[in-house]
Structure 1
Amino acid sequence: MFALLYSVLNTIFTNVYHSQQCSSCGQGSAVYLNSSSITLASPKRNDEMPQILLNCLNLDGQSIGNCPFSQRLFMVLWLKGVTFNVTTVDMKSRKPDVLKDLAPGAQPPFLLYGTEVKTDTNKIEEFLEETLCPPKYPRLAAHNPESNTAGLDVFSKFSAYIKNSNPQMNDNLEKGLLKALKKLDDYLSSPLPDEIDENSADDVTSSTRPFLDGQQLTLADCNLLPKLHIVKVVCLKFRGFSIPRSLTSLWRYLDAAYAREEFSSTCPSDEEIHMAYSSVVKALK
């Protein structure tokens, strides 16, 4: 596989590893993603090929594991229209040498491009957005800045909720999570500027858009949706809490997302998520 990688000239391969020790659960094996159809540049040297290394958890060593950062970049590549192949790698017994030598002490995800290392998922995403650009690849950035921050407090409220072991605090922490979900629902139900026709006599007071920034999935969705999926699965399993159906705009958003292959096909199974969080969730006692 590496021989093939380095034998190709004038093409940059994006190689994605899902490494052991996921930042959220500290477990897992790996998946090697070879996006061999991406032409990013014409490098002068083969060592200028970028590599993206990501966290992952796999129960069976075969399927995509639980890691919202990994899923986020999977979705970006898929939405860009990149064709890629996935080959599993056993991180426990056959850990790739590249993972032993690059960025000692750093936890994936990170991107290596020549001598430059990007250790931030946002920077990796920016690299993909800037490099995989029109006319060959679509822009995925949201048009409305507010879409990038919508729902970002949900995951922190979720973490506080599931990591609490004090029954007396449970109700207040659940209310905090509900408040964050309601805030997201409010954003999804509020019309965006391009949904309002200033020349129309009718006032637009609500939105029916399927996604955060409109009719299409954007980078904002790639960031938020993997986390929302974890929130939904973990809360139901360990706290018996379901996202209220009264949050109709939020459920419209989730239903639209699950109908898209770019999201649903990159979601880990419920069992993967349950295992990842079994040691994270605190029992109420």
Structure 2
Amino acid sequence: MQRGQMELKREADVPKIELFVKASSDAESVGNCPFCQRLFMILWLKGAKFKLTTVDMKRAPDVLKDLAPGSQPPFLLFNDEVKTDTNKIEEFLEEKLAPPKYTKLGCRYKESTCIGEDIFRKFSAYIKNANPGLNNMLEKKFLSTLVKLNMYFETPLPHEMDRNPNLTESRRPYLDGDTLTLADCNLLPKLNIIKVVCKEYRNLNIPAELKGLKRYLDNAYSKDEFRFSCPKDGEILTAYESVAKYLKPK
């Protein structure tokens, strides 16, 4: 095979990827959407070349209506093939963008993928409540999910125990180990929203005594793939201003 043909083949091996995400309220940056950020992080962590397109849903262009009529971002265009379901897109990318060229992001432990699955639901009930009489109960239920997550971070995983059988507390930076995985891409955008919204509407910070969770967030915010894919705090608050409730005294 001649050199020119080899270069063409290499170019053909690189998929053409475009990720469509929700635009901010000013239509100039990334908007508040944990599903969009999840896929943004996955593609970035994979090391894939891709185009990021923000979509202003107030005046969605005709091309978008033709691409995924009746749907909301995120959408994925992979070699002219349209994908619209976030979970299926995640599975598709893990299959198509595989080692050795791309980073594997799957978890080794099933528990890592489901440990925080009830946090956002309890947070939503807590933050949408306008009745001061229910606040303490809803806050306790919400905080209990954070305590459970914190316990997971502080409990050594089997591979950590293999390295050090005397280990009593985990120091791993992320859910499944030393690197970010699909589970982190799912959980971290939600935790960022929780942190911003709880501070504004309940003057509640994630408790400092939850040391495992604090370590996790500190490590995550140090990673470009997470920090630079987050929407601005103001964008999150704008998205929640119609549903989050300030508590008013009786």
- Which of 76, 87, 95 matches 2:42? 76
Q: Confirm or deny that 1:128 pairs with 2:93.
A: yes
SS in 2 for 1:107: coil
Structure 1 distance, partners of 2:38, 2:203, is 27
TM-score (norm 2): 0.87
- CA displacement, residues 167-222 of structure 1 (integer Å, 9 cap, x when unaligned): 10000000011100000000000000000138x6x532210000000100000000
- Which of 107, 110, 128 matches 2:72? 107
- Which of 209, 234, 240 matches 1:271? 234
SS in 1 for 2:166: coil
Task: Give the C-alpha shift of residue 149 in structure 1.
Answer: 0.6
Letter in 2 for 1:281: A
- CA displacement, residues 5-34 of structure 1 (integer Å, 9 cap, x when unaligned): xxx96653111222xxxxxxxxxxxxxxxx
TM-score (norm 1): 0.77
Task: Give the C-alpha shift of residue 269 in structure 1.
Answer: 0.9
Which residue of the partner structure matches residue 176 of structure 1?
A: 141
| 1:135 to 1:10, Cα distance in 2 relative to 1, 3 A | closer
Structure with more contact order per residue of length (Cα contacts < 8 Å, sep ≥ 6): 2
The 8 Å contact of residues 20 and 75 in structure 2, kept in 1 or not, is answered as: no
Which residue of the partner structure matches residue 17 of structure 1?
A: 20
Which residue of the partner structure matches residue 189 of structure 1?
A: 154
Structure 2 distance, partners of 1:104, 1:87, is 17
The 8 Å contact of residues 57 and 276 in structure 1, kept in 2 or not, is answered as: no
Which residue of the partner structure matches residue 24 of structure 1?
A: none
Unaligned runs of 5+ in 1: 1-7, 19-55
Task: Give the C-alpha shift of residue 143 in structure 1.
Answer: 0.6
| 1:191 to 1:284, Cα distance in 2 relative to 1, 3 A | same
Q: Confirm or deny that 1:245 pairs with 2:208.
A: yes
Q: Confirm or deny that 1:153 pairs with 2:156.
A: no
Letter in 2 for 1:12: P
Identity, % of aligned pairs? 58
Task: Give the C-alpha shift of residue 135 in structure 1.
Answer: 1.1
- CA displacement, residues 23-78 of structure 1 (integer Å, 9 cap, x when unaligned): xxxxxxxxxxxxxxxxxxxxxxxxxxxxxxxxx24032212111110110110011
Letter in 1 for 2:202: R
Letter in 1 for 2:46: K
